[in-house]
Amino acid sequence: YTLFIVLYPMGVTGELLTIYAALPHVRRSGLYSVTLPNKYNISFDYYTVLILVMISYIP
């Protein structure tokens, strides 16, 4: 369990840094985003989801 105390924060930091590094590319390319108008009349912004995921990591 002692090693977990060190490895868990390192893993979270690595994930957050990876998401942060990907944000400019996701914003520029519109990766995994769905814009209106479309068949289902919905909109989805992956960039915003990534930011919300990053915020949810804060305890």
The ranges assigned to domains in the chain are 2-56
> Are 34 and 41 spatial neighbours (Cβ–Cβ below 8 Å)?
no
Q: What string of pLDDT tens digits covers the 59 residues of the chain?
A: 789 999 999 999 999 999 999 999 999 999 999 999 999 999 999 999 999 999 999 86
Q: Which of 15, 20, 32, 57 is catalytic?
A: 15
Report which residue type is found at 46: Y
Q: Which of 8, 20, 32, 57 is catalytic?
A: 8
User: Is 8 a residue of the active site?
Assistant: yes
User: Is 46 a residue of the active site?
Assistant: no
The CA distance from 54 to 12, in Å, is 10
